[in-house]
Amino acid sequence: MLRTDEILSTIEMLHAEHLDVRAVTLALNVEDCAAPSVDHVCRKLKNKILSRARRLVETCNRVGAKYGIPVVNKRLAISPASTILAGHGHAAAVQVARTLDAAAAECGVDFVGGFTALVHKGISSADAVVKRLSGRRVCRKCGATFHVESLPSRRGEACDRCGGELYQREDDRAETVRNRLRVYEEQTASLLDYYRARGILVRVDADRTVEEVLGAVDAAVASVAGGRQGRS
């Protein structure tokens, strides 16, 4: 049970410190929007979003007014994006992105997460990726991972830990890596262009330590979120 002085001090805090609720997110599972054609996927997505989220903004505003605490961002999060895109080729991603943006605009939500919050992890050159992945060696016996340059086994071709034979996985072969990169570039290029044009794509250089990349991702998300808030 709240005491009167606690309620009064909370009201005082709200007025003095201008508290707000940063974001309310309505999460939607869109797995059931998978369909044989992209047009069909988009129709199902739009129907689902409009039927579930049409009153999100109105409800947030009503709650905000009732408690005197404004809700700054009203968001939608959809998941899993990869399931509804599977098997539809690279043009599908942009069509789905357009559909999501149109549905979000119709509902008045600030943004759709799970799809638009796309952080493209850039790497300076394909050669760096090939070098990084193709140097990896795995122990057949214990599964330990080494790298011929950055983390070599002190026992050469044998595992440091158990003496087992080190081998290169099929996935890590230079030709396989180059081929995977080419497919990735083809499939994401059009989606990257779409989000770049909307000003919500930030390039993060991933040729650095894990801590540095994490810091850069944090900064990128903050800059995009700040920019969006500034515009709304």
Smaller CB separation from Zn ion, 20 or 160: 160
Give whichever of 113 and 135 is closer to Zn ion, judged by the CB atom.
135
Q: Considering beta carbons, is residue 139 or 177 the nearer one to Zn ion?
A: 139
Q: What is the DSSP letter of 124?
A: S
Rounded Cα–Cα distance for residues 232 and 71 (Å) = 13
Q: Cβ closer to Zn ion: 157 or 175? A: 157
Residue with tokens 């505003």: 61
Least distance to Zn ion, CB of residue 173, Å: 21
Q: What is the CA radius of gyration of the chain?
A: 24
CB atoms within 10 A of CB 116: 23
Q: 21-29 and 71-79 as β-strands: parallel, antiparallel, unpaired? A: parallel
What are the residues facing 26 on neighbouring strands? 76
Residues 6+ apart with CB under 8 A from 38: 88, 91, 92, 95, 96
Nearer to Zn ion, 143 or 227 (CB): 143
Angle between helices 126-134 and 174-197 (to 10 degrees): 140
* Three-point CA angle 23, 26, 65, nearest 5°: 50
**CB of 17 or CB of 157, closer to Zn ion:** 157
What are the structure tokens assigned to 42, written together? 């988009």
Question: Taking the complex as a whole, how short is the minimal distance between the CB of residue 154 and Zn ion, in angstroms?
Answer: 12
Q: What share of the chain is helix, strand, coil (3-state, %, to 5)?
A: 55, 15, 30
Min CB(169)–Zn ion separation in Å: 14
> Rounded to the nearest whole angstrom, what is the least distance from the CB of residue 144 to Zn ion in the complex?
5
Residue linked to tokens 């509902």: 107
The least distance separating Zn ion from the CB of residue 157, rounded to whole angstroms, comes to 12
CB of 147 to Zn ion, least distance (A): 15
Q: State the residues that interact with Zn ion by CB under 5 A.
A: 139, 141-142, 144, 159, 161-162, 164
